[in-house]
Amino acid sequence: MNPNRLLSFLLIAVFLLPLSCTTDVTGPNPNGELPRELSAAEKKLVEDGQSFGFNVFKSTVASDSSENIFISPLSISVALGMTMNGAEGETFEQMRETLAFQGLSQEEINQGYQSLIKLLTDADPKVKMQIANSVWSRDGFPVEESFTNTLGEYFDATTRELDFNDPKSVDVINDWVKDNTNGLIEKIIDGQIPPEMVMYLINAIYFQGDWTYKFDKDQTRERSFSLEGGGEVMVDMMSQERLFNITMNEEVHMIDLPYGDSLFSMTVLMPADEEKSIDEFISQDLSKENFDSWIAGLNGRDMPLNLPKFELSYKVEMKDILKSMGMEVPFEGGQADFSGINPDASLFISEVKHKTYVKVDEKGTEAAAVTSVGVGVTSVPQTFTVDRPFVFMIREHNSGAILFMGKVKNPKL
């Protein structure tokens, strides 16, 4: 058995969801149609990935008692999708099943990510969405050329060897993360690189979108926001009135707020029952099937909107969450098979770290996320007022991509 070594996959990315047709009140812009039809494999990748997105969000909420949670499901999905290119046997099967890609080959998955990520980054010239990938390996550690070539071809990943014993290597990698998140996430590696670490794979996403209809700062007022269990906090509440796409039924109150040319939007959801906690809403009501139904039910309504300004950072270790979703073997030293990365090293995933940031104000939204996958060698109201806990998503309409998902119990934290 080889001495313990570690590989780490640090990623920032986007997640894909198919959407039903909606009333074109605020979008999508008819000029923003997809340049071509998705292939059958791409459609299946999108459709199957929907389940993973909701499952990983719900599993994160269930395992973390934090007031506010904000993740990028595709950040996690792409990190694992890249790692899968080195996986074999049961390791590959468990990763593919957890990602809900049953029936798709690795080639089809890679092709799907390649084309869909390109579609997302080109979707709206008025919205800045950047996705970047890189591979950093320890100088002298043999890596299968086919592995790095595949990541270069399908994920446009650049490859570089570094002397991991040199403390400056940490700065080089962290600077790449900072540059590719526009400074929103300053670092992903804390301290020195462990002597067992042999590789980092990094995917980064940066999103910045101005509201299609900006809020007037002069209309922002301090208002109360109700906390679960009683009590309230004062928040800066933005306000405007116009035609929005809204769903209001016995389950949910939901509104869609467009960015740029209306191809991207923030979707805000609250339980219709004000007595239901946001965690109960997420566990009981938030599902692929319900979300599709709520999207299909969006209708244009002219009403006042009150939305709090908020800013939050979040980080979480995803290892136990992913294991609870069925991905166990890839984390087990001596059982995991990542021979596609190095056939002579017994590799396993040792950690999956995820970092995110979001800021919402009168102008728009700025967000970023980083996921680090460490691999070891083992061996209907009159006014839509968001003044209580809510779920929010940032999504793109034509491809059906959800970039980020979050819950906010307290905007002041």
Whether the pLDDT of residue 131 is over 90: the answer is no
Q: Give 271's contacts (C-beta < 8 A, 6+ positions apart).
A: 251, 252, 253, 278, 280, 281, 285
pTM over 0.85: yes
Tally of structural domains, the chain:
2
Does residue 234 share a domain with residue 247?
Answer: yes
Residues 188, 277, single domain; the answer is no
Q: What is the mean pLDDT of residues 245-268?
A: 94
**Domain harbouring 294, CATH code:** 2.30.39.10
Q: pLDDT tier at 353 (50, 70, 90 boundaries)?
A: confident
Residue 258 has pLDDT above 60, yes or no: yes
Q: Would you say residue 227 lies in a domain?
A: yes
Same domain, 204 and 278: no
Q: Residue 195: what pLDDT? A: 80
**8 A C-beta contact, residue 333 and residue 379:** yes
Query: 69 in a domain, yes or no?
Result: yes
The residue written with tokens 């919402």 in the block is 360
Residue 253 shares a structural domain with residue 374: no
Confidence band for 38, pLDDT divided at 50, 70 and 90 = low
The residue-averaged pLDDT of 330-345 equals: 90
Strand 384-385 and strand 299-308: the pairing is parallel
Predicted local confidence at residue 334, as pLDDT: 86
| 206 and 222 both lie in a single domain | no
- 167 and 18 in a common domain: yes
Q: Which of 278, 224, 309, 252 is nearest to 66 (CA)?
A: 278
Residue of 260, 282, 252, 307 whose CA lies nearest to 28: 260
User: In the predicted model, what is the mean pLDDT of the chain?
Assistant: 86
Going by C-alpha positions, the residue among 76, 37, 35 that lies closest to residue 53 is 76
Please write the tens of the pLDDT for every residue from 95-109: 999 999 988 999 999
Is 3 a residue whose pLDDT tops 70?
A: no
Residue numbers of the domain that contains 51: 5-210+311-378
Are residues 113 and 251 both part of a single domain?
no
pLDDT, average across residues 228-248? 94
Does 399 lie in the same domain as 272? yes
Is there a domain that residue 413 lies in?
A: no
Beta bridge partners of residue 15, listed in sequence order: 402
- Shared-domain flag, residues 358 and 399: no
| Domain shared by 183 and 233, yes or no | no
Q: How confident is the model at residue 17 (pLDDT cuts 50, 70, 90)?
A: very low
**CATH code for the domain of 87:** 3.30.497.10
Residue corresponding to tokens 């389950």 = 251
**Do 21 and 40 fall within a single domain?**
yes
Q: Is residue 201 part of a domain?
A: yes
**Residue where the block lists tokens 């009140």:** 25
CA angle 328, 17, 58 (to 5 degrees): 45
Lowest mean pLDDT among 30-34, 61-65, 220-224: 30-34
Tell whether 191 and 228 lie within a shared domain.
Answer: no
Domain-embedded: residue 393: yes
Does an H or E element contain 208, and which? Answer: strand 197-210
